[in-house]
Structure 1
């Protein structure tokens, strides 16, 4: 899997090769996970500092990738699973102010639907990318909306 930062082709990261070298050096899979997460955070920070098009792309294979773009409102996170009709953007559903046990049944039934939050924090993008790179399940709070591209 390759990770690309912005338009600077000098910032390419071969995740599998890096993991293999870490395993050879330390012999510990947990060390690979920790170093991968630290490197990913560094790349997100580099992307945040780019004046234009601060983005990151992790590509598993052709047309299978996760990408994020840094904007003034936060990060926009997208993924594609093989073709244009399987292109999605991340949306977070904001949690209610009080727990279900604190709100009356009438309040919960009549509550207005919440709008999805399309901008993510750096920590949220880090969690989603880390899971993607490790081929692990995505965070529970992450929802995907299909996009027309």
Structure 2
């Protein structure tokens, strides 16, 4: 009787090991054949080195805040670029910036040239912004203004 219990225990243990080995093999096959997850879309880095996706507002003049984007409505945000419409609020600095008035200009915004972010190389960030003024524009500005974005 003792021999038959030992044989049964060995058979059960062998069966459990075989089941575990087959489960591991099928799991590793499933893991290697699973589709790769696409990396997240690039981010927009702001003046305080914070990353954002589809921000409503964005400061362009970090030093004094005299130019900013407001009311951004993003149409597209992807690996190659992002587009939005909104308002560029620009201080006319007349007679000087502290006494100036903010003027509002309708713009189309384009972000592009994503690259690895120095702060976190695993994150892609947009490195260029283009503003297209759809109507009036600030004195001295071209219809399309292109700015490098900080890293």
- TM (norm. structure 1) is 0.30
- TM (norm. structure 2) is 0.29
Structure number with the higher helix fraction is 1
Rg larger for: 2
